[in-house]
Amino acid sequence: MLHLYAFPATTCPEGAVATIRALPRRPTGDGSAGPAPTYAHAVEAFLVAHDRVGAWSAGTAVKYRQSLAILETGLSEGPAVASVAALDTPDGAAALEAAFTAAFATLAPATRARHLAALRSALGWWRARGWLASDPTAGWARPKIARDHSRALTREQITALWRFDIPLREKTLWRLLYESAARASEILTLDIGDLDRPGKRARVISKGGDTDWVYYQTGTALLLPRLLAGRTRGPVFLTERAPTRAVPTLDMCPETGRGRLSYRRAAELFEHATTPLAAAAGRPTGWTLHQLRHSALTHDAENGTNTPMLLARSRHASMRSLERYARPGPEALARHAAATDPAARRQHGR
């Protein structure tokens, strides 16, 4: 049987003649499979298999493609050019390790870990297809990532944010991000129809395509009517002006003619506005939008919120992924130390 493979339009230069090639068969019911494809074919098959709604975010797809393409350059002289199954051999595994080291060894640990995760995801998918029998990265040590436990803003810094003289759009966005502990990408894709204003909640599409409710509080509830100004359709957060280029219909407000606020623009505005406050805390640049989510979950942990509630609020799959958020900050630790200081207790006659 001939299996046809169609490359995405972005991979075929305009005017080029597309070549139809026979792809290897997928595993049969008994676990056997046809001959493994080249590394390039295997990469494309892996990416296309996840090119569906809810599989990956657009950003993840782009990053995975970049990681695997860089490795393809390093493997161009090795045996995997002819067959990805060569990665099962000692020479193929050595070539892969050499290519990974040459491409990523000088990068920050977190960046190396991201590239390694992309590679291992592809390797796992290829093993499931029967194209590989083992994991050539099994003996590799995962880059050790130093955690920055000072990323959460203090409660005083959060309070200072609410006092900023800023446009209503930014004020509402920042409040909603903090009160809901949601991801900025989730909140920026909200449409007015996703809001349940009486219930103080919003319907978002989470990582992996799951639909969830996130809940906000009175601060956001008071700001939303002013921001929407009677609008009943379109994105919640809009650009200042109408777009100068074509944008998807779903990202346009039919009532104002303005487009959806992008993550990049929202992040730039937040970083610029918070630079003075961050400088007072010893940071050279302003904060990131993600730190509002980080801060909300940290403050929840400091307030004694239990683990099941933290997991439900953050929508993390496990405590391991949550633990870097739900970690009491230095101010909370200082208050705890002061409150439990035996000398202070004696001084106050306790």
pLDDT, tens digit, 9 for 90 and up, residues 158-167: 999 999 999 9
pLDDT at 346: 57
Higher-confidence residue: 26 or 217?
217
pLDDT at 13: 41
CA distances from 346 to 332, 341, 349 (A): 22, 9, 5
Element (H, E) at 22: none
Is 264 part of any domain? yes
Instruction: Give the pLDDT band (50/70/90) at residue 143.
Output: confident
CB 127 within 8 A of CB 94: no
CA distance 14 to 66: 21
Distance from the Cα of residue 22 to its chain's centroid: 35
Instruction: Give the pLDDT band (50/70/90) at residue 347.
Output: low
Where residue 54 falls (left for φ over 0; alpha for ψ -120 to 50; beta otherwise) is left
pLDDT at 148: 52
CA distance 98 to 96: 5
Token pair of 346 as six digits: 């004696």
CA distance 157 to 174: 13
Residue 66 has pLDDT above 70, yes or no: yes
Higher-confidence residue: 229 or 31?
229
pLDDT at 2: 40
Regarding whether 292 and 235 lie in a shared domain, the answer is yes
Regarding whether 172 and 80 lie in a shared domain, the answer is no
Residue 10 has pLDDT above 50, yes or no: no
- How high does pLDDT run on average in the chain? 82
pLDDT at 279: 86
Instruction: Give the pLDDT band (50/70/90) at residue 145.
Output: low
Regarding whether 79 and 42 lie in a shared domain, the answer is yes
Amino acid identity of 183? R
Q: How does pLDDT run across 165-198, given as a tens digit for each residue?
A: 999 999 999 999 999 999 999 999 999 999 999 9
Is 168 part of any domain? yes
pLDDT, average across residues 224-236: 95
Q: What is the largest CA-CA distance in the chain?
A: 87
pLDDT, average across residues 300-329: 81
Residue 221 has pLDDT above 80, yes or no: yes
Residue 331 has pLDDT above 80, yes or no: no
Token pair of 301 as six digits: 């942990």
CA distance 279 to 241: 31
Is 147 part of any domain? no
List residues bridging with 63 in a β-sheet: none
Is 340 part of any domain? no
Regarding whether 195 and 111 lie in a shared domain, the answer is no
Is 146 part of any domain? no
pLDDT at 9: 41
- Exposure b/e, 15-37, CB count within 10 A at least 16 = b: eeeeeeeebbeeeeeeeebbebb
Is 260 part of any domain? yes
pLDDT at 58: 65
Find the DSSP H helices in the chain: 39-49, 58-74, 90-104, 109-129, 155-162, 168-180, 184-188, 218-228, 263-280, 290-302, 307-314, 319-322, 330-339, 342-347
Domain that holds residue 321: 155-335
Regarding whether 123 and 13 lie in a shared domain, the answer is yes
Number of domains in the chain: 2
SS3 state at 55: coil
Higher-confidence residue: 208 or 311?
311
Residue 152 has pLDDT above 90, yes or no: no
User: CB neighbours of 335 closer than 8 A, spacing ≥ 6?
Assistant: none
pLDDT at 18: 38
Is 56 part of any domain? yes
Q: How does pLDDT run across 13-47, given as a tens digit for each residue?
A: 444 333 333 334 433 333 344 678 888 899 999 98
Regarding whether 193 and 124 lie in a shared domain, the answer is no
Token pair of 306 as six digits: 């239990």
